[in-house]
Structures are given as C-alpha cells and as structure tokens.
Amino acid sequence: MDLKEKILNVIRGEHVAAMATVSEGEPAVRFMGLFGKDDLTLVGATMKSSRKVQHIREKPVVAISIWSGENISDPYVTIVSMAKVYEDLETKRGFWKPTLEPYFQTPENPEYVVLEFIPQRIEYYSGAVMEVWER
C-alpha cells in the first residue's frame, strides 16, 4: 500500500481531530469535527466568531492530528496545513449536513462558516515507523 493510501485510511471520512492555531505567539488546541477527502484535504464547520477563525485569518497555518483507532499502536497522522475560511453560501450549502442543524440551524446562518485545510506536510506514524508526504 502506498503512503497516500495509508494516510487516507486514517483521515478519510468524518473524524474528531485536534487542531492547533497560533495567535500572538501562543498556541491554542481544540477538537473539531473534520471530513477527510480523497485529495487529502480536510473540511469542517465552525462559528464565524470563534477564536480559531480569528487565528486562521491572522496566520493561516495550522497543525492537525488525527488518530485512526482504539489501540495506542494504531496509526495516526500529524499535518501541517494551510487553512481557508469560506463564508459564501454556495460553499456552505455544498458542505451542509443535517448533523450541523443543532449548531447552525440552516446553511444561511451568517455564523456558519466552512474551514478547508490543504496539507503541506503529513507525517504518518505506525508503530515506530514514520513516513512523510509533502505537497
């Protein structure tokens, strides 16, 4: 199995991921739901007024970590990624899922924004072995 496929086995589909931003030299880590796509990008939804959106607008580089399983030895990835904030209705409708209703009610909610993460470097860890993918 090639490295891209190994990475996709970890990130493909919906996951809770740890995402870190930096603002004024201080790191901030939070968990958020992300959806991993076949092109290795990740997409998620959040509130426009959240600190993470403010941080991304200031410095659009983030770190993301996703673990694939239940056992400590299961593969995981760490990702250095460029981040984009989308507020346009077409993107918001395109990403919309019924599971977002409790948070945003409708895609037209001005507080609902879509975050896209474009990986620049992905480190894939399996046991004591690390492999690196770079854009």
Q: Are 46 and 113 contacting, i.e. CB atoms less than 8 angstroms apart? A: yes
In angstroms, the Cα distances linking 52 to 7, 9, 100, 120 are 25, 27, 18, 19
Predicted confidence at residue 73, as pLDDT, reads 85
pLDDT digits (tens, 9 = 90+) for 38-74: 999 999 999 999 999 999 999 999 999 999 877 888 9
Predicted confidence at residue 12, as pLDDT, reads 96
Domain with 112 in it: what CATH number? 2.30.110.10
pTM assigned to the model: 0.94
Task: Give the total number of structural domains in the chain.
Answer: 1
CA angle, 60 then 64 then 66, to 5° = 160
Burial class from Cβ neighbours inside 10 Å (0-12, 13-18, 19+) for residue 99 reads exposed
Reply yes or no on whether the pLDDT at 1 is more than 90.
no
Structural domain for 53, as ranges: 3-134
Reply yes or no on whether the pLDDT at 25 is more than 90.
no
Split at pLDDT 50, 70, 90, the class of 109 is very high
